Structure 1
Amino acid sequence: MKSCVIYRTDKEYKIVTESETDTGLFISDTPVYILPLAISDEILKDKIINCLENSKTGVKMPETREKFSKWQKEQLANLQEKNFSSLYKKSKSCLVRIESGQLIIYPYECLDVKKGLTIIDDKVVHFNYLKGVELIATQEIIKVLNSGDVPV
């Protein structure tokens, strides 16, 4: 399975690679891209695909609280954020996965910043993952991230 998360703030897109850990959980990984909202659909597609291609399995989960804290600080620095709570509050986001021949877009919402993001089940979008579907899927991702107001 390949995975990434895309955040849309009022100024930019933040695209984060996700990798599956040795425990089965997904964690943020690199590359991370921060792009202006005025970016072309084609460039946005290329960055999303690059993140998906760099998604790995079997990544070692930080084992101690200290290692997890260090990892978290690195991820926040990559995102140019102070904490995840503020990112969740000020952005719209979605999870993008390639699994079982499908490219799936899972829109997120933040119901409670302490609990993180929740998938909006009735808004999930599926595509058969065939050559050439990437641009159409990217345009759907843009629609998902543009729906409703972006929190400020």
Structure 2
Amino acid sequence: MHLLKALLSGLLALAVLVLVGVQFGWFSGRPPSDLGVKQGRLKPPSLTRNSVSSQADLYPDHPQRAHALIQPLPLKHGDATASLRTLAAVLQTQPGITLVEQRPDYLYAQAQTRWLRFVDDLEFWFNPARSVIEVRSASRLGREDTGLNRRRIENIRAAYLRQ
């Protein structure tokens, strides 16, 4: 009985600590300082299994290249500007996603999970050389996301293609 009380007390203390952490943003991480497009590339995929990128194949020696690779978004009606406007509108309808930066050829958004408020960074860039919208989505914290970034991008893709 004493052991059960101690176990329940410990679990309660842990739950309170998690709630305090959520309130203080302990699980949101810091925004990476190296986002954006550099020399025609978005940031490489994470070294851990918590990111996806349509440009993962540009990094042949990357340990997560095969896991991280995802298809880019096609242009709608062959128009990059209209496609990115449509994509921005889609992002603004997605739960937990905040559009942070919008340029004619680039979008940056942050996705926050509902309960623990983990933050993932999402980037979309019109690549004129390939005439596609390159995508990258990565968790700021942790090593595994159980496929959340991939599912999120595929949900965004489906909503974008329906527009």
Q: Which TM class, normalised by the smaller chain length?
A: under 0.3
Q: State which structure, 1 or 2, has the greater radius of gyration over its C-alpha atoms.
A: 2
Higher relative strand content: 1
Task: Tell me the TM-score normalized by structure 2.
Answer: 0.22
Task: Tell me the TM-score normalized by structure 1.
Answer: 0.23
